[in-house]
Each structure stands twice: as structure tokens, then as C-alpha cells.
Structure 1
Amino acid sequence: MGTQLTEDLGRVGVWSGLLASDEPARRDEITEAVAELEELGYGTLWLGGSATPRQAVHALAATSRLTVATGITSIWNDGPADVARASAEVNRAYGGRFVLGLGVSHGPLHREYHRPYSAMRDFLDGLDAAEEPVPAERRVLAALGPKMLALAAERTGGAHPYLVTADHVAQARERLGDGATLAPELKVVLDPDLASARATARAYLGMYLKLPNYTNNLLRLGFTEDDFASGGSDRLLDAVYGLGNAEAVRDKVEQFFAAGADHVAVQVVNDNPRTDIPRAAYRTLAEALSLGSAG
């Protein structure tokens, strides 16, 4: 809310695991896609899939204004000294346009996973103690629960929660206070056929519903185990996705802003979300969200 980080992120960004890829065969395709995001008026590209700071270099080199953030860098993959060094090098080379998003990831994905809150606090201590510390205002946490949100407000520029609802955004805003940036991710399916859109959404959501950090958060929000069956109930899908035509997606984005988000990172989900970069959808959403006219 008025912070430098909020201004740097812009109003709307794109969350993508594909655009974090360093496959040589896709380099030109990704360069063109990232450059177009900047032209369309998106403020930030969030690199998914436990991206490292150095994976931001390709996108930063392809642009001149776009902020590039990790969404997220897992604290279990590299130590804080290495992460701090890489973050400093990237920001030095690209005019301070990199933001470090940090997360504890998930127990089923990391054998080292233990005491996530304490581990994150210790990792932040390590970033502060590094030879070139990561400034608090240039890092955010993938915070879902109350304790991690409080830590984000205390030790970072804000929070980048993933797989959340407008109700969670409102709760996060209250816990963060007005001084921290709130930048939730929002999945969207651009498809005017609601049944078809939900089918696409279910096919992608199923893998996330096997991860306790997400399901526990959804349970706190009033969903039940029944909502997690078969890729998600209609009620759940409608809460965690923007589904339908561009106007319906715009309305969902606006719900997140009304609930207290400073920035919304849209993740476009299509029939082949792990292989197809949805450039046409990015264009459609940029127009619907008036990004070009917003500068």
C-alpha cells in the first residue's frame, strides 16, 4: 500500500513456471513471450517451480522495465549465503529489478522439511548476515498461515500467497497491516464454457490438493475434505480460480483487489499448462484489465 515494492510490482503480474525454463530449445520463444509481457503492461513476472535468482537473468535481459521475482525460491535448495550472493549479483546487473520470493515448499517434496516457521526465520537471519544482505524490502514470503504472515510483515516487504481465495486475501491484509505488500497468485482459465473451464481447472488443481500446506489453509477457510475430491468441488474451483470469459476473470481479479491485494499475479491455466505458453490469453487479459492504458 504505497510502498516502493508495491510500485515496482505494478498492479498485475504473470505467474509462470514455463517462463522460468532454461531449456536451450525454448530460449527464443521465452525471450519473445517475456518481452511481450512488458509491452502489454504487466508489472512483474513471477517465476514458478522453485526458481533460483539466477533463473531470473533470462527474463531480465529480455526486458528493460519489468520486475522479475521468484515465486518461489525454496529455502531447502540452497543456503542463505548463496541465495543472497546470487540475488545481489542479479540486482546489480539489472538495475534492481529482481525481487526474491521465498517459501518453505512442501514436506512431500523435500526430505529436509522440518519446523518450517523456524527454518524460514533462520533463513532470513542468514540473508541478513550475508556479505551482501538481501534488503527486507526486496524479499517476500509465500505466506499462508497466521505465523508466516506475521513473519512476512516483520521481516520482509510482504507476502506472495499461492492458491488462495478472496477471503484469504482479506485475512492476510488484516494480518500484514498496511505497511506490507500483498501480492497473491490467482489461477485463471479463459473459457466461456463454464463446464469446460472447470474441467481444465480440475486437471491442473489435483496435484496441489495432495499438498498439506494448501489443503490445511483451505480447511481454515471453511472448505472440507469433500471439496478436495476429484480435482476439487465446484465451490472450491470458483473460489481459487477466475473462470470464464475475460470479463469474468477481470471481476475475480477485482475481488482480490477489493479484499486488500496490492498486486495480483495471474497464472493462466490451459489444456497443456506445462508446455504451452498462453500468449494469446496474456493479450486478452491485458486488454480486459486495461494494463496498457495503466502504463
Structure 2
Amino acid sequence: MKLPRTALSIAELDELDHDGAVRFVRMLEESGHRMVWLPEVLGREAFTTAALVLGATGRLIVGNGVARALERVPKSAGSAAYDLAAGHPGRYVLGLGVSGAVRKRGTGPLPFLREYLDGVDETVARRGPVRVPRVLGAYSEGITRLAAGRADGLITFLVTPEHTRWARETVGPELFLSVVQWAVVGRSRSQAREVARERLAYYLRLPHQIAKLTRLGFTEADLAPPGSDRLVDALVATGTADEVREQVRQQYDAGATQVALTLPGPLDETKLDAYRALGEQEQ
């Protein structure tokens, strides 16, 4: 699977209406960005949002990064992904993930996702010959290894280069590995910490994120809301567009195939300028 070396992961669509979302993604494309991942977090449904972005743009590659498997049955996910891949050849990637919440159903994330992929495969095969490229969102060893055997790649989120190095060693040298990297552009370090903490607060309430960050060596003191300076500085690149690009080079050095920047904070003029500046680097 060949995808751009750089991408964006855009959470802003949750806060925009239809017309605002169209204007925003067109601006990203016009600024030079080549690919976006769409997280499914607070509001928008994964596949209809992917269809919106694909229809609003002409060249932008769109990935669900990631669609929540617990939100829909495998037949629905597989069929929706098939139609997007068929309607926009070479521009769509299915991303799937599952959290520890699946244990409430009496199963673990790994067996659940393995069976889920079986259902997706059956649906896609029944629909026709269109290939649907896919990645898995994973932090645990089990699902990371599942990605190596059952997907075209792996996507990780809110991790340090140390985790990226471990993931690369786990899946081998060839598998596509995208790392979603937080960045605050055009603000001082103290301002950047404040912006990042507003969004980080949500993730510091999620048990699977706490477990992941604990495995990466962060302490209870680091993870106590709103997060220590050590935690924020390890997870968030800051500075000018050029300085951010220099900092994320650590993720490439650790084994990332792609780095997808996500910019926390309100969609104000400072952030829009940051998106444009980052896009100019892609041209």
C-alpha cells in the first residue's frame, strides 16, 4: 500500500456543519495536503463523513482513522467501505479499531477484531472484485501482530517514538505504519501546552489510553489531569511549521512510514495559517 509520507488527522469536522466541513477540506486540498485520516470520536459517523470528504475534493486521499468496530456490524462496515473504494479508486482506506469496552460483551479486543475482519472479508468478497485497502488501529501486541497478518498497515495515535520503534520491530520492515502525531504550530511552548491539555483531558479519562501511556513509562503523576509538562512535551510537537517537521522526524527515524499531523485547539486563524503553512511544505 503506497500512501503519502505525510498526512493529516482532522478532528475539526465534529464541530463543523456540512458547508463548513466542505470549505475546510477543500482548503486543505488547495493548500497542498494529499491525505487526511478521519477519527470517529465525538459526533460524525465514520463512513458518511468519508463520503462527504471524498465527494467534496478531487484528489485528496481519505482514510477512516479509525472507524469504531463496536459502532456497526461487520456487514455494514464492509459494504460501506466497498462502495467508497469502488466509487473513488485509489482514494480510500478503511481503518478499523476497537477498545477495551468490548469486554462488556464477554470477549477481548483481539478475538473480537479477528472475527470482525472475517465478516468484513465475507461482505467485500460477496460484493465483487474491488480491493478495499485497510489498516488497523492498535497499541497492544496482539492487535499489532493481527495488523501484520490481516491488514495492509497499522495506524497509531498519541504515542512516542519509542512506541513507534516497538511497533516497527513487531510488524517487520515492510508493513505500512502511520503515526498520528499531535502538533501545535505558531504558538509559544507554554501556549502550546495549554492548547494541547484542553484536548488531552478527554483521553486522560479513557482506560485504554491510560494503560497505553503507562506502558510507555509515564507515571500516575504524569497522567493525572491535566497531564504533566513531561507528558505533553513528549506527545506534542511545537514551534513553527519547519520546527514541527524537524521534531516529527523522530517518528520516521523510529520506523514510521507516514506521520499524520493532528492540530489540537480551536479552528481559529492561527490554526488555519498553520494548516496552510504545513501544506506549502508538501508542494
Fold conserved between structures, TM > 0.5: yes
Alignment match of 1:139 (pick from 128, 134, 143): 134
Alignment match of 1:221 (pick from 208, 216, 219): 216
| Distance of 2:253 and 2:6 partners within structure 1 | 14
Q: 1:30 to 1:120 in 2, by over 3 A?
A: same
Structure 2 partner of 1:33: 24
Contact 1:167 1:259 in 2 (8 A): yes
Structure 1 runs (4+) greater than 4 angstroms displaced = 109-114, 133-137
Structure 2 partner of 1:266: 261
Structure 2 partner of 1:252: 247
Correspondences of 1:30-179 after superposition (within 5 Å): 30-50=21-41, 51-107=45-101, 112=105, 114-130=107-123, 131-132=126-127, 138-179=133-174
| Distance of 1:135 and 1:116 partners within structure 2 | 28
Mark the runs of 5 or more structure 1 residues left unpaired by the alignment: none
| Distance of 2:175 and 2:161 partners within structure 1 | 18
Q: CA deviation at 1:126?
A: 0.8
| Distance of 1:277 and 1:48 partners within structure 2 | 22
Structure 1 partner of 2:272: 279
Q: CA deviation at 1:137?
A: 6.5
Contact 1:15 1:48 in 2 (8 A): yes
Q: 1:263 to 1:182 in 2, by over 3 A?
A: same
Matched letter for residue 35 of structure 2: T
| Distance of 2:220 and 2:135 partners within structure 1 | 30
| Distance of 1:133 and 1:231 partners within structure 2 | 49
The one-character-per-residue Cα deviations of 1:198-220 (angstroms, maximum 9, x if unpaired) are 11111211110111211211111
Q: 1:110 to 1:244 in 2, by over 3 A?
A: farther
Secondary structure of 2:247's aligned partner: helix
Contact 1:44 1:67 in 2 (8 A): yes
Q: 1:207 to 1:267 in 2, by over 3 A?
A: same
Secondary structure of 2:71's aligned partner: coil
TM-score (norm 2): 0.90
Q: CA deviation at 1:134?
A: 9.8
**What's the Cα RMSD here?**
2.4
Contact 2:186 2:274 in 1 (8 A): no
Mark the runs of 5 or more structure 2 residues left unpaired by the alignment: none
Q: CA deviation at 1:222?
A: 1.3
Count of aligned positions = 278
Contact 1:60 1:94 in 2 (8 A): yes
Contact 2:144 2:154 in 1 (8 A): yes
Q: CA deviation at 1:110?
A: 9.3
Contact 2:85 2:131 in 1 (8 A): no
Alignment match of 2:194 (pick from 184, 194, 199): 199
Percent identity over the alignment is: 35
Secondary structure of 1:269's aligned partner: coil
